[in-house]
Structure formats: structure tokens, C-alpha cells
Amino acid sequence: MMLDALVIAPHPDDAEIGMGGTIARLIAEGWKVGILDLTSGEPTPLGSLERRKAETASANFELGNPWRENLGLPNRDLEPTLAHRRALATVFRRLRPRLLFAPYWEDAHPDHIAATKLVEDARFWSKLSKSDIPGIPFHPSRILYYFSVHLKIVERPSFVLDISLQNDAKLAALRCYTSQLVENQTPGQPGVIEAVADRTRFWGHFVGVRHAEPFASREPVGLKGLNDLLI
């Protein structure tokens, strides 16, 4: 299998929170998209391995059924170790994605920070020759970073993408994670899904659309032309 884009998520639901609309849009546009969850996300107060697996499958259906696997790394103890780097580089060689999406590099959640470091390191290792990593050397051309952060910060994206037509699919996918995003809410406070919806409206406002998702890049983002600029 060869993918156009692979989204790497520390836990099931991070991909949907950060860029569920973009995933649905790319699939609708004919892209071959995959999601790789690094951990099961368990234990959690209301979840279980079986429940999270079922929720993830339902969410994936709402997004358009992208390719999806779980790497099975340890939740809460995720580290960018050499063994984990090799395992992820092996996936990159197998799927050969042109574009990688990773969590934004600044976060309060240690798993998220470790995931970002792991993606960056594995991308480099994936291209190495004369190594014991299974598969043919391959180097994904670019990493973009999505926002699913636990810090109360205002994102400073490199660009935002219009997801007005895909926002309903994004919210439907988020509602599938009932143990994490529906039942596990504090009474009287806005829930995660409500906050995510507010965020897509916030970024859509700045580019003149109803909903948008922000992305960051450590490297310059090149444009073939200016025709697609919204404002």
C-alpha cells in the first residue's frame, strides 16, 4: 500500500480532534489517507480496550474509512526510544506516505510531545540504507503539524484549511468517542466537542469560511500559485 498522507496520533481521537475535517476532505478529493494510532489510549476512567476499539472503528467510518492501524505502544509511557523509532520507520517504509501529519510540538501531555519527537526521528531513520529496518528506504517529503493540545494556548498556524463541507463529519466522528468526549464531561462546563466546534469556527472566521482547521510547519510552505488563497 502507498498512501498520499499518514496521520500519526498519540491516542485514538487525537486525529479527529486535530484534523478530522481535513481527513474527510482529503478522502473526498481522492487522496489515499491513513491514520496510525500509536497507543490504545487506555486506561481511562470510563474506557476499556474493547470500547475504545469499537469507538475508533465508528469514528473511522464517519471520516470516510481511511486506512487505520494501532502500533500498540504503551499509553502514558510513550517514549521516543530506539525500538519505537524502528517500529514507526518500518511503517513508513511499508506505507510510503508522501505527507506526514504529527501532533504540534508544544503540549502539556507527555505522550503528545513524545509522539512528535518519535515521528520526526522515524522519518529520518526511514531513509537510511544499510540498516536492519525492514523494507526499502523511504523519506516522506514533509511533516505538517495539527493541533490537539492540552495547553490553553492560541495556535499560531502556518496555514488553515477550509473544512466547511466536512465539519459535520468531523463532529460525527468525535461523538463516536462516547467514553472520552461525551460521558466524561464536567457538568456546567463546555465539553471537548463544543470547544473543538468553537475552534473551527474561530479559524474559519479569519479566512472567510464557516469552519477551518489550523496547521503548522517547521519549514517554509511552498505554493504553486496564489489562486487558492481565500483572502
pLDDT tens-place string over residues 2-27: 999 999 999 999 999 999 999 999 99
pLDDT, residue 184, reads 86
Confidence class for position 83, pLDDT limits 50, 70, 90: very high
pLDDT, residue 224, reads 87
Q: What is the DSSP string of the chain?
A: ---SEEEEESSTTHHHHHHHHHHHHHHHTT--EEEEEEE-----SS--HHHHHHHHHHHHHHHT--EEEEEEEPTT-----HHHHHHHHHHHHHH--SEEEEE-S--S-HHHHHHHHHHHHHHHHHT-SSSS-SS-----SEEEEE---SS------SEEEE-TTTHHHHHHHHHT-IIIIISS--TTS--HHHHHHHHHHHHHHHHTSS-EEEEE-SSPPP-S-STT---
Whether 231 shows a pLDDT value over 80: the answer reads no
pLDDT, residue 227, reads 85
pLDDT, residue 185, reads 83
Whether 97 shows a pLDDT value over 90: the answer reads yes
Whether 54 shows a pLDDT value over 90: the answer reads yes
Between helix 192-207 and helix 14-28 the angle, nearest 10°, is: 50
Give residue-wise pLDDT tens across range 187-208.
888 899 999 999 999 999 999 9
Give residue-wise pLDDT tens across range 154-181.
999 999 999 999 999 999 999 999 999 9
pTM: 0.96
Q: What percentage of the chain has pLDDT greater than the value 90?
A: 91
Between 13-17, 118-122, 137-141, 187-191, the lowest mean confidence (pLDDT) is in 187-191
Confidence class for position 66, pLDDT limits 50, 70, 90: very high
Whether 77 shows a pLDDT value over 90: the answer reads yes
pLDDT, residue 59, reads 98
As a whole number, the mean pLDDT across the chain is: 96
Of residues 85 and 228, more confidence is placed in: 85
Extract the C-alpha cell encoding 44: 481511562
Confidence class for position 148, pLDDT limits 50, 70, 90: very high
For the chain, the domains span: 5-216
Report the pLDDT averaged over residues 111-131. Answer: 98
CA dist 163 and 206 (Å) reads 13
Q: How many CB atoms lie within 10 A of CB 69?
A: 12
* CATH topology for the 5-216 domain: Rossmann fold (3.40.50)
